[in-house]
Chains A and B, each alone.
With several copies, the nearest count.
Chain A
């Protein structure tokens, strides 16, 4: 089980702020995860339509789409940040 958390328009399009899911063994990298999530429904498909703009954090630390998920407890998906 891994906890997924969503922010800003990713959260809005997916329609929830977080969820816990089981990942199949075939999902090894963040890129795999994004592909996998797109299959879960239209909200996901719209939210993740342009995967290049999706930022990802594993256990609250920025990571790359090529990074392995490993034994991540929490994975966050969000758009480019606009703080400051």
Chain B
């Protein structure tokens, strides 16, 4: 049996239903699927887009490592992680986590764990591109994201 882990780093958008169907069609025994989608948001009305830089190679590896860690901790039937890079405008998808399990709490907890680790461990960096055409600043890491990792020790 192959491990039910799928990770992708891509410029293109993704489709949730397609990803869930792929998981469920591979395994008729799945009862609960949890997804987390992170979207590009425009808090101040000044954002034209986010430009996402990543570390090719390590991004994929790190996502595999994070997914593998979740499989060790929870009884999961599948994990899918997709992270986009390049230019992403407000309202568009940035990241997707899908967890499948017979047990809904396992699916919820694993998805939450995966997001906390993707935020702080996967080598991606966001920079703002402003509506006035100027390249804005690099998005600062948030202490709250770092603190979130402590929950899972």
Contact = CB atoms under 8 A, between A and B. Distances in A.
Task: Please tell me whether chains A and B touch each other in their complex, using a CB distance cut-off of 8 A.
Answer: yes
Interface of A: 5, 7-9, 57, 60-62, 76, 78-84
Interface stretch (B10-18, B68-76, B133-141): B133-141
Interface residues of B, number: 29
B26 interface: no
B139 A82 contact: yes
A81 B125 contact: yes
Given A7-B53, A62-B121, A82 B58 contact: no
Report the 9 A-B pairs with minimum CB-CB distance, sorted nearest first.
Answer: A83-B124, A80-B141, A84-B119, A60-B58, A8-B125, A82-B139, A84-B118, A82-B126, A83-B122
B61 A81 contact: no
B120 A81 contact: yes
Nearest to A78: B123
B152 interface: no
18 contacts: A8-B53, A8-B138, A57-B123, A61-B58, A76-B55, A76-B58, A79-B125, A79-B141, A82-B119, A82-B124, A82-B126, A82-B138, A83-B54, A83-B94, A83-B126, A84-B38, A84-B95, A84-B115
Contacts of B53: 7-8
A7 B125 contact: yes
Contacts of B126: 82-83
Contacts of A76: 55, 58, 123
B103 interface: no
B95 A83 contact: yes
Contacts of B41: none
Given A8-B53, A8-B127, A81 B58 contact: no
